[in-house]
């Protein structure tokens, strides 16, 4: 009887203290997406109420503390358009941070809003500026901690590409090159390269060039006013246009390739639309 009571006590103890234990094997943990929190990755020209509302919801609601990180601000600029956009959709606790001074980006006073943030949103512009301004600073560290404690990281255009492991269009001389002089993103999605404005700017074939040189990456192209919402190793498409997946054509059966006269596998991509879901680990559509 005593041994049974001891066993029951131990079982109850484990249940009550479950948050401090991991009941998942290493293989069951996300291998591409974030282990905690979520991502809202927008392909630019963000207008959809559904996208903005989803970001606010994942941050914890309209009163959740949100920090916006612009890529560039003019001297004396008092407002940021993405911060104002979030406020217009009901967010009441939005601040923005911007500096090109890496010493300031390491100061306690500057990063204070990030210590309490439940959501961070990267603005549009030139993604390499995020790297030059914040890579290796307290800003980058604390943004990651927002995700690690279950918050949300969002971004549009440049703020989409920065979330990948490979930094697409990170060239300081222009945004025409998909492979530029900055090639390392912040890596919220591992082994992934993210392009944006893909259909609006006729970029849909350029990811193929990147993957020919770096075949280890999964390519994701997101069109304007469209987003993927990532939780763990899965995402759902929301918004008005399409997401393009570049994964060596694994979705296409041989008979379809033959009937449609499709190119070689390495040159294939396919489209996902609102409501479609995708498994990043297995690289396949969830049916």
**Model pLDDT for residues 220-242, shown as the tens digit of each residue:** 999 999 999 999 999 999 999 99
Per the structure, the complete domain to which residue 220 belongs is given by: 25-286
Residue 11 domain flag: no
Residues of the chain with pLDDT under 50: 1-27, 249, 252
Closest CA to 229 of 152, 284, 167, 176: 152
pLDDT of residue 239: 98
Residue 33 domain flag: yes
pLDDT of residue 93: 98
The structural domain count of the chain equals 1
Residue 247 domain flag: yes
Residue 3 domain flag: no
pLDDT of residue 2: 45
pLDDT of residue 247: 79
Residue 159 domain flag: yes
**pTM of the predicted model as reported, rounded to 2 decimal places:** 0.86
CATH code of the domain covering residue 40: 3.40.50.880
pLDDT of residue 264: 61
pLDDT of residue 213: 92
pLDDT of residue 267: 64
pLDDT of residue 135: 97
Residue 20 domain flag: no
Residue 8 domain flag: no
């Amino acid at each position: 009887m005593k041994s049974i009571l001891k066993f029951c006590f131990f079982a109850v103890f484990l249940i009550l203290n479950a948050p401090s234990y991991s009941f998942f094997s290493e293989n069951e943990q996300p291998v591409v997406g974030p282990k905690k929190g979520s991502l809202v990755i927008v392909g630019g020209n963000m207008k959809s109420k559904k996208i903005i509302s989803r970001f606010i919801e994942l941050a914890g609601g309209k009163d959740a503390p949100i920090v916006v990180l612009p890529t560039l601000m003019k001297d004396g600029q008092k407002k940021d358009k993405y911060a104002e956009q979030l406020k217009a959709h009901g967010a009441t606790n939005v601040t923005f941070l911007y500096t090109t001074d890496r010493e300031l980006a390491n100061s306690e006073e500057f990063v204070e809003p990030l210590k309490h943030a439940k959501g961070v949103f990267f603005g549009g512009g030139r993604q390499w500026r995020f790297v030059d301004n914040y890579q290796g600073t307290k800003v980058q560290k604390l943004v990651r901690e927002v995700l690690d404690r279950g918050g949300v990281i969002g971004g549009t255009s440049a703020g989409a590409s920065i979330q990948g492991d490979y930094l697409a269009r990170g060239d300081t001389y222009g945004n025409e090159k998909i492979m530029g002089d900055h090639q390392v993103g912040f890596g919220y999605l591992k082994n992934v390269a993210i392009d944006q404005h893909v259909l609006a700017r006729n970029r849909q074939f350029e990811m193929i060039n990147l993957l020919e040189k770096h075949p280890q990456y999964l390519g994701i192209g997101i069109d304007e006013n469209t987003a993927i919402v990532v939780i763990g190793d899965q995402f759902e498409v929301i918004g008005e246009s399409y997401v393009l997946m570049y994964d060596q054509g694994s979705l296409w059966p041989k008979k379809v390739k033959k009937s449609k006269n499709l190119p070689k596998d390495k040159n294939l991509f396919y489209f996902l639309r609102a409501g479609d879901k995708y498994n990043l680990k297995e690289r396949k559509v969830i049916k």
